[in-house]
Amino acid sequence: MKLLLLDEHYPPELLEGFDVVREPEEDVVAALTRGTARVGEELFAQLPALRVVGTATVGFDHVDVEAAEQRGVAVVSVPDYCTQEVADHALALLYALLRGIVVLDRDVAAGGWNPKAAGPLRTLAELRVGIVGLGRIGGALATRLVALGAEVWAHDLLPVDRSGVRPAGLDELLAGCDVVTLHVPLTGETRGLLGPERIESMRPGALLVNTSRGEVVHVDAVLAALRSGRLGGAALDVLPREPPPDVPVAPNLILTPHAAYYSPAAEERAYRLCLARVREVLGVV
């Protein structure tokens, strides 16, 4: 079976049994990506025998799923490959904001030794944290937060009953929580979910954490809210353009380079699960 490889990072040993090509050919039955290239109608038109697209990522917004469905092409992803890594990263970003870790480190590196250089510091157990998207990752983070003593609210399109977590509407959550952390896929409904009006509706001094997709948040509105003091801090692992042409700068802003997913074990798991699901669609082992 001929397989079109659109991302060179897939380990060769996982591709055994396929005739791997790097350019579209008419008899290709499977294509593999990892979000580095858009997969849509233009490519599908060159692959009349295509049966499945595999992406070694949680999200699949880089794949035109509607066009795939119209052509009878299955799309498989790996939403379960980095749940613990992203939940840990979101919690780490939250702690970095609460405890001023980045500011304190930079102050010491610059020759300072001032425990108050980051301003007033807070503890997690005194805060109300709102989780937007209570799926695998949001649920894993909720488990951590409840165990650490935080009051946890959550909003999800499909309400989930979880011990220790209070369901809330999105606007209620934004207005009522000290921290908002985002864990939703990028869809037509979630693109721009936190625009200027919703950011303005957040509790004064609130903290924002985003480890989902950059386009879910209106970044310019976040920067403006940080500069005005409307938001107390923000930690973003994702941006609308990656890497950004200009790195955003604002008070109490922490940026990481779309690294929440990463551990060597998770990376291996992503490729392995993706290939397993592609083989399942094709009916081969």
Residue 9 catalytic?
no
pLDDT at 78: 97
Kindly report, residue by residue over 10-25, the tens digit of the pLDDT: 999 999 999 999 999 9
What spatial distance separates the first Cα and last Cα of the chain, rounded to whole Å? 12
> Of the listed 128, 230, 258, 272, which one is catalytic?
258
**Residue 170 near residue 189 (C-beta atoms within 8 A):** no
- How many distinct helices (H) and strands (E) make up the chain? 9, 12
> Cα separation of 39 and 156, whole Å?
28
> Of the listed 69, 189, 242, 268, which one is catalytic?
242
pLDDT at 36: 73
DSSP assigned state of 192: T
Nearest CA to 206 out of 222, 184, 185 is that of 222
Q: How confident is the model at residue 158 (pLDDT cuts 50, 70, 90)?
A: confident
pLDDT at 235: 98
Residue 213 catalytic?
yes
pLDDT at 168: 97
Residue 258 catalytic?
yes
The pTM of this model reads 0.94
pLDDT at 37: 75
Kindly report, residue by residue over 119-140, the tens digit of the pLDDT: 999 999 999 999 999 999 999 9
> Of the listed 203, 213, 277, 279, which one is catalytic?
213
**Burial level of 59, CB count in 10 A (0-12/13-18/19+)?**
middle
Lowest mean per-residue pLDDT among 158-167, 173-182, 192-201: 158-167
Which amino acid makes up residue 278?
A: V
- Asked whether the predicted pLDDT for residue 215 surpasses 90, the reply is yes
pLDDT at 249: 96
pLDDT mean over 21-46: 94
